[in-house]
């Protein structure tokens, strides 16, 4: 690389840092809940980039809290163990045998992989599940679906203890039932419930789409809660985007300042959303 080109790159880097300053100041001590799923979980490079972003967020004074999914890893393990899955209207029935695999994968290999990735980037992460310290108490969501839970109470004291000690919580979406049962929780739902309980400044839902799209297929960069409701009613928001936007509405009702649905396949997506003027997805707020 020529010296002139190197100087140009350094100047661009310095300008980027300078332009980010107001946003760095804006988010000092802010709580940002991030639901990690999709490409960022299944790609080694995506995981490394995500982990670096999270470590940087903590370094500049943000309190990131990670809630992760793990559907593809669960499917792979069930297949490996020859456990056949039953589905009702596209939703997996979680029987006792399936639940044991779900807990093993989510609390075990998936959770620890994320923790290790963040620690490798200089962060200090600790893995836990919603069962720890009764973080997430659940009710059964649907008897036909088995051990699938709906959060009824969030006890965030363990999260507060970790963040007060400069530690990044990485949470597997499992919860405890009233009789000590273990429930599997949709990761978006768990992230929304935790964000609401913490009155988070931001809830970032990382997914494999670029955001909420209008009827012409164009990403809408900013929406109101009412606009989301109208688009669901009109059928513009459909399929897998419905539970994500419903999670956003729940979180906003619970006191979260704003929710962003963004593409986790984009490099440095979280940093682009928080520290640049144009953001990186669809911002939803009241």
Q: What are phi and psi of 80, to 5 degrees?
A: -60, -35
Q: Which residues contact 263 (CB under 8 A, 6 or more apart)?
A: 206, 207, 208, 209, 210, 211, 269, 280, 281
Is 35 among the catalytic positions? yes
Is 38 among the catalytic positions? yes
Give the helix/strand (H/E) hosting 66. Answer: strand 63-68
Catalytic residue among 37, 46, 70, 71: 71
Catalytic residue among 37, 38, 46, 264: 38
Phi-psi region of 28 (alpha: psi -120 to 50; beta: other; left: phi over 0): beta
Is 244 among the catalytic positions? yes
Catalytic residue among 69, 131, 188, 281: 188
> What gap in Å lies between CA 80 and CA 259, rounded to an integer?
37
Best CA proximity match to 27, nearest among 60, 51, 66: 60
Catalytic residue among 211, 244, 264, 281: 244
> What gap in Å lies between CA 90 and CA 111, rounded to an integer?
25
DSSP state of 48: H
| DSSP string over 242-283 | HHHHHHHHHHHHTT-SEEEEEETTSTTHHHHHHHSSS-SEEE
Residues with a catalytic annotation lie at 35, 38, 71, 188, 244
């Amino acid at each position: 690389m020529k010296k002139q080109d190197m100087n140009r790159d350094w100047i661009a880097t310095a300008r980027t840092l300078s332009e980010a300053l107001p946003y760095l100041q804006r988010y000092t001590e802010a709580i940002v809940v991030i639901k990690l799923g999709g490409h960022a979980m299944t790609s080694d490079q995506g995981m490394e980039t995500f982990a670096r972003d999270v470590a940087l967020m903590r370094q500049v004074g943000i309190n990131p809290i990670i809630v992760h999914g793990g559907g593809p890893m669960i499917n792979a393990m069930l297949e490996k163990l020859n456990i056949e899955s039953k589905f009702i209207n596209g939703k997996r029935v979680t029987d006792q045998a399936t639940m044991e695999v779900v807990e093993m994968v989510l609390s075990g290999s998936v959770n620890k992989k994320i923790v290790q990735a963040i620690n490798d980037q200089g962060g200090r992460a600790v893995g836990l599940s919603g069962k720890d310290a009764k973080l997430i108490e659940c009710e059964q969501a649907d008897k036909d679906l088995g051990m699938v839970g709906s959060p009824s109470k969030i006890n965030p004291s363990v999260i507060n203890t970790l963040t007060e000690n400069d530690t990044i919580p990485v949470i597997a979406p499992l919860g405890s039932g009233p009789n000590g049962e273990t429930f599997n929780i949709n990761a978006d739902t768990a992230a929304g419930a935790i964000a609401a309980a913490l009155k988070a400044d931001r809830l970032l839902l990382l997914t494999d789409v670029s955001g909420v799209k209008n009827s012409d297929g164009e990403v809408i960069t900013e929406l109101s809660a009412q606009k989301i409701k109208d688009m669901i009613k009109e059928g513009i928001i459909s399929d897998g985007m419905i539970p994500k936007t419903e999670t956003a509405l729940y979180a906003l009702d619970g006191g979260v300042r704003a929710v962003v649905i963004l593409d986790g396949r984009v490099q440095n997506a979280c940093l682009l959303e928080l520290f640049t003027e144009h953001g990186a997805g669809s911002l939803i707020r009241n």
